[in-house]
A and B are shown apart, each in its own frame.
Chain A
Amino acid sequence: MENNVAIQLIGVNKWYGEFHVLRDVNLNVERGERIVICGPSGSGKSTMIRCINRLEEHQQGQIIVDNVELTNDLKNIDQIRREVGMVFQHFNLFPHLTVLENCCLAPMWVRKVPRKEAERVAMEYLEKVKIPHQAKKYPGQLSGGQQQRVAIARSLCMNPRIMLFDEPTSALDPEMIKEVLDTMIELAESGMTMLCVTHEMGFAKTVADRVIFMDGGQVIEMNTPDEFFNHPQHERTQLFLSQILAH
């Protein structure tokens, strides 16, 4: 049953009470593909990627991740969450645990990895994100950029096949954005399947295979970065791009 599709969204609809937040969303993501999602605030970008690891529940349509369909079955949800890592806008590191403990928690309790092994792997990833010497510190002692890199390392420690990013740089001071983007570019080059909500257009141009534009809960446009930035098809995309590239 192995095929090349990592994520499949088929006719997904979601409502918050009366509010129709996702309207008939269809999306196919292949293994190793890197997708950037952009769109105005409130257009449903976060909601869509949060449906992929079931932080939000969709009400209609199918979501298939790594050949497992997301249903109410806790087993499927557990399995998918183990394969899908997520990085949040506000890092969400556990403040009562050291950087190293943050990284070891899930491997030890979910994957049942011995501590020594978990720590070894964690140090490897902390080295990849270039903060191994902060391992014994607490998140509160790190800068925003460092915290976000720890959050990326923490996700990677679970050895996921897919990574979701929800505006990973928008809570950061400008001088820290680059260090996080560099980490993400490295990750992209290693062949990870990535879905990334971001307004960093430079990042989109460098690494994305496809760029998606969402508005009003719909996927309005989906294209290669070249086409997307140089020949946007829809009026709304053009408007959005002119606003975002204006400054």
Chain B
Amino acid sequence: MANATPQAAPSKPSLWNDPQKRGILIQVLVLAAIFAFFGFIFYNTLSNYAQRGISTGFGFLNNTAGFGISQTLIPYQESDNYWQVFKVGLLNTLLVAGLGIVTATILGFIVGVARLSKNWLLSTSAAVYIETFRNIPVLLQIVFLYALLLKILPSAKESYSFAEAVFVNKRGFYVPEPIPQAGFDWTIWAFVLAVALVIVLRWIARKVQEKTGQQWPMFWIGVALIIGAPLVTYFMTGRPLEWSLPVLKGFNFQGGIRVIPELVVLWIALSVYTAAFIAEIVRSGIQSVSHGQTEAANALGLRHNQTLKLVVIPQAMRVIIPQLTSQYLNLTKNTSLATAIAYPDLVAVFAGTTLNQSGQAIEIIFMTMMFYLSVSLLISLFMNWYNNKMALVER
């Protein structure tokens, strides 16, 4: 080693021939081009704003809106400012997205399982449902359903009435509003406690099974507790819940909750459309679990239900969940089609009316995009986390 001849230093490649340095150089150039492009647009917009006398920045959010909104989940009146409009629109978007996600998931799982049924009528109906709703643009479905609904629904005076508690007419769906009385808190607490108890019991049940092999029927215990405990408390505390029924006064209804037809239409149309995709995802997820898995489980003596619970569903869910999240994402983005039927979502009231009135296009589109982007990122984060947690370990 002492007399090792020093190696001739490899001649240095030029900047352009060194792959690593060349990569960095190209990235810097691309980045500079992008900055220049947006800088130009930004500068251009600023000068346009200045020419038309529009101030830049988010100061406009303090200005009075001056228009009404047909559905508000938080207090709102015309004299409120644009910031309040933003919040109202955002909540309306989240409301229809949330409702849609729940019903689309339930409907999608039912149709997806029906698609795999051995019953010919059931599986064919499911197939027809999937192919129909998946292949018609959702905007068309929304507009069609809206037109249909407005056509068949009667005027307020001739409302359809169900048990004198629910009324349906062109102006909306009127349902009784629950009004908690003193002491209703107990029922809520009973529910919370029941949920907590079930979580603890599940844990204990697992420990018991590991120790003694005994199995508790945790599903039924859970259902009984979560439904039973609040119900018993409710009756024992003297039913402290009153209902405000909608009543026709003149041309309009008072009392109760009014659900605007636009919400109903958007909710149904988005659910039905997304459910068709979810059904396909569920079907392919279940089919991705090979028949050999079921056979091996059966050969070991596992019952049908145990095979589903322990072998098929855990594997199918790995395929289903990531795709499901991207459907949730699609549904959330599709809520912006609300504009077509004037459902007051974020795009309609903020990126629509507010933008037209104030002219602050850049700020408003920026805020609206940030909202959708945040929701998307949250969903993607969840997806990555889930994938990492559940990924099958392979060589």
Name A's B-contacting residues (CB within 8 A): 53, 55, 78, 81-82, 84-86, 88, 90, 92-96, 105-106, 108-117, 137-138, 140-141, 151, 154-155, 158
Contact B300 A158 (CB under 8 A): yes
- Which residue of chain A has the shortest Cβ distance to B206 in the bound complex? A115
User: Considering the complex of A and B, which 8 residue pairs feature the smallest CB-CB distances, nearest first?
Assistant: A115-B210, A92-B296, A140-B394, A106-B300, A112-B213, A138-B393, A86-B299, A92-B292
**14 residue pairs from A and B, CB less than 8 Å apart:** A55-B295, A86-B296, A94-B311, A95-B315, A96-B314, A96-B318, A106-B301, A109-B302, A112-B214, A113-B213, A115-B211, A138-B394, A140-B395, A141-B393
Option from A53, A92, A110, A116 in Cβ contact (under 8 Å) with B210: A116
* Distance of A247 Cα from B171 Cα, bound (Å): 83
- Which residue from chain A places its CB closest to the CB of B215 in the assembled complex? A112
Q: Which of A81, A108, A155 contacts B298 (CB 8 A)?
A: A81
Q: In the complex, which residues 280-322 of chain B have their Cβ closer than 8 Å to any Cβ of chain A?
A: 290, 292-293, 295-303, 306, 310-311, 314-315, 318
**B215 in contact with A92 (CB, 8 Å):** no
Q: Which of A55, A106, A116 contacts B302 (CB 8 A)?
A: A106
A81 to chain B, nearest CB (A): 4
B20 within 8 A of A: no
Rounded to whole angstroms, the CA-CA distance of A109 and B302 in the bound complex is 7
Residue of B whose beta carbon sits closest to that of A151: B296
Asked if residues A78 and B301 are in contact (CB atoms below 8 Å), the reply is: yes
The answer to whether B209 has its CB under 8 Å from any CB of chain A is yes
Bound CA–CA A115/B297 (angstroms): 18
Q: Is B73 an interface residue (CB 8 A)?
A: no
Complex CA gap A111/B125 in Å reads: 40
B5 within 8 A of A: no
Across-interface contacts of A141 in B (CB, < 8 A): 393-395
In-complex Cβ contact of A82 among B211, B215, B290, B301 (8 A): B301
How distant is A207 from chain B, measured CB to nearest CB, in Å?
Answer: 22
Contact A108 B209 (CB under 8 A): yes
Say how far B310's CB is from chain A's closest CB, in angstroms: 6
Within 8 A of A (CB), among B73-126: none
Q: Is the interface of B mostly helix, strand, loop or mixed?
A: helix
Q: Do A114 and B213 contact each other (CB < 8 Å), given the known contacts A92-B292, A95-B315, A141-B393? A: yes
Q: Which residues of A contact B299 (CB under 8 A)?
A: 53, 55, 81, 84-86, 155
Specify which chain A residues have a CB less than 8 angstroms from the CB of B212 in the assembled complex. Answer: 114
In the complex, what distance in Å separates the CA atom of A119 from the CA atom of B212?
13
B-chain residues with CB within 8 Å of residue A90 when the two chains form the complex: 292
Taken together as a complex, chains A and B put the C-alpha atoms of A90 and B210 apart, in Å, by: 30
Known: A81-B300, A96-B315, A158-B300. A116 touches B211 (CB 8 A): yes
| Chain B minimum-CB-distance residue to A119 | B210
Residues of B within 8 A of A108 (CB): 209, 213
Q: How far is the CA of A117 from the CA of B311 in the complex (A)?
A: 22
Smallest beta-carbon distance A16→chain B, Å: 15
Q: Does B392 contact A (CB under 8 A)?
A: yes
User: B301 — which chain A residues lie within 8 A by C-beta?
Assistant: 78, 81-82, 106, 110, 158
Q: Among the interface residues B214, B300, B310, which one has the most CB atoms of the partner chain A within 10 A?
A: B300
Q: B310 — which chain A residues lie within 8 A by C-beta?
A: 105, 109
- Taking a contact as CB atoms under 8 Å apart, the answer to whether B295 and A88 are in contact is yes
CB-CB < 8 A to B292: which residues of A? 88, 90, 92
Q: How far is the CA of A107 from the CA of B300 in the complex (A)?
A: 9
Q: A88-B292, A96-B392 are in contact. List 20 more A-B contacts (CB 8 A).
A: A53-B299, A78-B301, A78-B303, A81-B301, A86-B296, A88-B296, A92-B290, A92-B295, A93-B296, A94-B315, A95-B315, A95-B392, A96-B315, A105-B300, A105-B302, A138-B393, A138-B394, A140-B393, A141-B394, A141-B395
Residues of chain B within 8 A of A138, CB atoms compared = 392-394
A94 touches B293 (CB 8 A): yes
